[in-house]
Structure 1
Amino acid sequence: MLILIFLVVHWYAALFAQTFFQHRYTSHGAFKMSPFWEKVFYLFSYFSQGSSYMSARAYGIMHRMHHAYTDTEKDPHSPQYSPHVFAMMWRARMAYQRIVKGKNKDSEHFTKGLPDWPAFDKWAGSFYSRVLWVLGYTAIYILFAPSFWFLFLLPVTIAMSAIHGAIINWYAHKYGYKNYELKNTSTNLLKPDILMLGESYHNNHHKHPSHVNFGTKWYEFDPVYPVIRVLNWLHIIRLAH
């Protein structure tokens, strides 16, 4: 069915933008890229994430805060301070908005080396941009959904990036297994990672934040890592170490 193909492609494209560009590159500097390729991946993030687009700069600040303040009240999305996953998502959204608007006093401590394209982000993260994407998604579902029930998938499409974050920030801090005993609640989720492109190896990531490969055991396959190796071979990016 065309609508399911659209949903799957959108899911993995938006997730790749998040894990490759906003997470591994922006937040942790696991590799370098030229200003030209940085702009290319800004555009890729916008067109893949659409209505749930996240500013690379704001994402980087929020994620660095998560590592610095994990499981404390300053953590922008710790499940320790929310009664359920939706409350945590709302808390993360409010933290993100404060960063975007420059109202978070801690933000200035987490900006070193972050890419920034203010003019682009002003449009990409605007109300008007998000509404246009929502209208476009709605039209796609109306035209191609084989039945009315498929419209219940529309909210997933609209809030795609927020859902990606919620899966990791809630479930990978409450369930799963640990390869490393750390002073936080991060865990790894093995089977669910088929949906998460390596992001579910969250305990590994908290142990080695700047590692380009999120898997550490032989059975923990990070599908983004070989893509990164190919991009490095093509000189699109440069691995930091």
Structure 2
Amino acid sequence: MILIIFFLLHWYFSLFCQSFFLHRYAAHQMFLMNKFWEKFFYLFTWICQGSSYLSPRAYAILHRMHHAYSDTPKDPHSPHHTENLFTMMWKTKNIYNDYFSFRLKPEERFSKDVPDWKKFDLMADSMVVRVAWGVLYVAIYVLSISVFELAGTHWWMYFLLPIHFMMGPVHGAIVNWSGHKYGYANFDNNDHSKNSLLMDILMLGELFQNNHHKLPNRPNFAVKWYEFDPTYPIVKLLHMTRIIKLRTA
């Protein structure tokens, strides 16, 4: 049981950082935060994503491109211009790496005012650091299953390790694939964006893609009364505690 709890904690804390910090803050700037809190969430994102850490700068550039070119050949991760899920992920990785390493220079509209902590990103992206996180995950599983033989642990749980290693890309793949192929649409956005779930507990609101593409700067991804975006109440709480400041419409 302890490893299932560990897996769920990694899943949801990593996903929260991607939705809150990388997506809603870095890419869309739906709210403001001072430099102290920006650096705090950089560190928090690294700790939560671990071996699959995604640079806020590179993530924001790709996501802004995704909105500008949604489901066209220029979209960096559209399921409608790749053969399958894995080719979409590989294409996204290559484009991400080009912008992360500055091999490609983005248009100003895609890079304007994105958070950037270059030295930290280089450390977090290094292979030594990524492998160290992976070793930590393996050690937790080996100690729990094979050494201490904790109650509720089983050998099949080792199959969860690849998801730990690739947690950030796994989340991105689910959202980009499912959110543009399966579900219902509240709006005609001239693309294939869909809302995949009514209460998006699985992906913390990220699968309200159709709503989000219609209202890209709205911090609550749920629109209808029966929809629920779990990240939005946390955003409101952080606003009330003055850690962030929501932008006024």
Question: What is the TM-score of this pair, normalised by structure 1?
Answer: 0.97
Structure 2 unaligned blocks of 5 or more: 146-152
Amino acid corresponding to residue 188 of structure 1 in structure 2: N
Structure 1 unaligned blocks of 5 or more: none
1:182 aligns with 2:189: yes
1:150 corresponds to which residue? 157
Please give the secondary structure, in 1, of the residue aligned with 2:137: helix
**d(CA) in 1 for partners of 2:170, 2:53:** 12
2:174 corresponds to which residue? 167
1:233 aligns with 2:229: no
For the aligned residue pairs, the C-alpha RMSD in angstroms reads 1.2
Q: CA deviation at 1:191?
A: 5.1
Please give the secondary structure, in 1, of the residue aligned with 2:32: strand
**d(CA) in 1 for partners of 2:122, 2:107:** 18
Q: CA deviation at 1:147?
A: 2.5
Alignment of 1:81-230 (within 5 A): 81-145=81-145, 146-190=153-197, 193-230=200-237
Q: CA deviation at 1:104?
A: 2.4
Question: What is the TM-score of this pair, normalised by structure 2?
Answer: 0.94
Alignment of 1:3-22 (within 5 A): 3-22=3-22
1:72 aligns with 2:72: yes
**d(CA) in 2 for partners of 1:115, 1:104:** 18
Alignment of 1:30-49 (within 5 A): 30-49=30-49
> Is contact 1:99–1:107 with CA below 8 Å preserved after alignment?
no
**d(CA) in 2 for partners of 1:102, 1:34:** 26
> Is contact 2:198–2:226 with CA below 8 Å preserved after alignment?
no
- The total of aligned residue pairs comes to 241
Alignment of 1:49-60 (within 5 A): 49-60=49-60
Q: Per the alignment, do residues 192 and 84 of structure 1 end up closer, same or farther by CA in structure 2, a change over 3 Å counting?
A: farther
Amino acid corresponding to residue 34 of structure 2 in structure 1: S
**d(CA) in 2 for partners of 1:82, 1:139:** 36
Amino acid corresponding to residue 78 of structure 1 in structure 2: S
